[in-house]
Structure 1
Amino acid sequence: MDHRLPQAPLWKRAGAFLLDHFLILVVALGVGILLLGLFGEGETSFFGAASFAPIMIVAFILYLCKDIVGGRSVGKRIFGLAVLEEGGQPPKAGRRILRNAFTFLLPAELFFLLLSRSKRKIGDRLMRTDVYALQRKRPVTGIIAAVVASFAFVAFAMFASVITIMKQDSSYRVATDYIRQQAEIQRVAGEPITFGLLPTGSVSYTNGSGEAAFNLKARGSLRTVEVRISLTKAEGEAWVVRDMQYSP
């Protein structure tokens, strides 16, 4: 690798930084929402410590490892940048990870990046690395891939959020509790009864009253039973089951 590569301009580094943070945030939120949607029950708050902690852990790991492949995160690849040693060689994976750990000291990192003569962050100074510009033009394929990935992550997060909202609604808890208590479902499916990770259905509210319908997979020790259940709610009252049908 040519050690005379130019140091990356600040505007490109800022663009790569913002793009990486956006993608990491979307992925971390998507994972957190999906975990809560799949395994959360009842009225668990999405912003509680139990659900927020996995998001922070995922985001932290993703950020540390964002440059693990060739010293180039998604943002750096789009803007034609790479993390290299002072001599122009790719640093070892451990140094790439440690370099990113210091970014959490954001004020100090910005001070060194913007005001120091060498324009290098704390992590780059300690790991003897820097961000270099590999090419002047951004690859069109890379930009297209990033846009497609961004839309895919956003779609995933939206889908997971719908599942989360549905499973957190009290109508879902009433429906699952009702199904578990049905002797016929217990006999056909076996006990204990659990439910599929991805329920389908709808919940709607109008002036305090509500309508809900779910298609659930009730899984027991014998078989899985498809259950279709509808509920209704009068203003100021609890959800009640209106109809339930099932088929093995």
Structure 2
Amino acid sequence: MQLNLASRKRRLVALIIDYYVITFLLVSIIFLLLGPNFIEREDDFPFLLAIISIPLGLILYFGKDSVNGISFGKWIMGIVVRKESSSVESPSLINLFVRNITLLIWPLEFIVIVFNKNKQRHGDKIAKTIVYKNPNKTKKIPRILSVIGLGIIFFAFILSFVASSLKTSNAYKLAITEIENNKEINQQVGEIIDYGWMPTGNVNITNGEGIATYDINVIGDKEEMNVQVELIKPKDGKWKITSFNY
């Protein structure tokens, strides 16, 4: 069966999609291992995890085409990697892995594709592969919905993790304690029901010293109120409130 070569545009878009998908996967793994309280960790685990993540990310990226010569990006763009000697056979896992190592110099690889008649980059030449349009590609709507769904999952995960990180910090817990013990706030809002899904603000800790700012939405059975809290943390000390406004 004669297959058409994949266009350069499709290959570039597939590469970009794969990059973001693998980055999202790697970041998700790192965040889950760190836990929501990673902001206030003072051990070397975050640093060690960052070092370990580099080879893990490379393994994921180099092995992205391992499922029948198709990565997520290639599936979205309807293209597939096949043997140079046979357009119906998927290359071996080793060849699929090896062909992606040269993507470390991907700008040069795409220059090579421009001038190669079979649109082969160095990785393809080394692994003896060619990228074709997939004759058995999935219909367009499921592929589009997959991209949209992945984007929604990505942003939902990041927002949920950030919210969880802010809420589990000792600075936030101290701010909530101050709010719950403030008689004026309780009289105005009534019984406190919730503090909203995600507080705005930030926590910054360097060498054991920290600064935190929060804008907390206090939801009561009478009304809602925004409370602005600023805190500092001396080295080897506990968080202290420096400003409390409502």
TM-score over 0.5 (shorter chain): yes
Q: Percent of counterpart pairs with the same letter?
A: 22
* Structure 1 residues 27-66: aligned runs within 5 Å: 27-38=25-36, 40=38, 42-44=40-42, 49-66=47-64
Deviation readout 1:41-61 (Å, 9 max, x if unpaired): 625599x63343344334222
Q: Is 1:78 the counterpart of 2:79 in the alignment?
A: no
- Code of the aligned partner of 2:156: A
Q: How much has 1:80 moved relative to structure 2?
A: 1.0
Q: Is 1:154 the counterpart of 2:152 in the alignment?
A: no
1:13 alignment partner in structure 2: 11
- Code of the aligned partner of 1:149: L
* Structure 1 residues 1-248: aligned runs within 5 Å: 2=1, 4-38=2-36, 40=38, 42-44=40-42, 49-86=47-84, 87-88=86-87, 89-135=89-135, 139-167=140-168, 169-171=169-171, 239=239
36-45 vs 11-20, greater mean Cα deviation: 36-45
Deviation readout 1:5-56 (Å, 9 max, x if unpaired): 011011111121111111112222222222222573625599x633433443
* 2:23 and 2:57 in contact (8 A); partners too: yes
Aligned-partner Cα distance in 2 for 1:148–1:204: 26
Q: How much has 1:104 moved relative to structure 2?
A: 0.9
Q: 1:114 to 1:69 in 2, by over 3 A?
A: same
Q: How much has 1:165 moved relative to structure 2?
A: 4.2
Q: How much has 1:147 moved relative to structure 2?
A: 2.0
* 1:23 and 1:150 in contact (8 A); partners too: no
Aligned-partner Cα distance in 2 for 1:14–1:60: 19
> What count of residue pairs does the alignment treat as equivalent?
194
2:194 alignment partner in structure 1: none
Q: 1:55 to 1:159 in 2, by over 3 A?
A: farther
Aligned-partner Cα distance in 2 for 1:76–1:127: 18
SS at match of 1:83: strand
* 2:167 and 2:173 in contact (8 A); partners too: no
Aligned-partner Cα distance in 1 for 2:112–2:41: 46
Aligned-partner Cα distance in 2 for 1:51–1:20: 22
Deviation readout 1:102-157 (Å, 9 max, x if unpaired): 21122331221123343211110011101100248853212212321232133223
Query: TM-score, normalising length from structure 2?
Result: 0.63
Query: TM-score, normalising length from structure 1?
Result: 0.63
Aligned-partner Cα distance in 2 for 1:94–1:209: 51
Aligned-partner Cα distance in 2 for 1:173–1:99: 50
- Code of the aligned partner of 2:40: G
Q: How much has 1:160 moved relative to structure 2?
A: 2.3
Q: 1:239 to 1:39 in 2, by over 3 A?
A: closer
103-112 vs 48-57, greater mean Cα deviation: 48-57
* 2:171 and 2:231 in contact (8 A); partners too: no
Structure 1 gap segments, 5+ residues each: 176-200, 213-232, 242-248
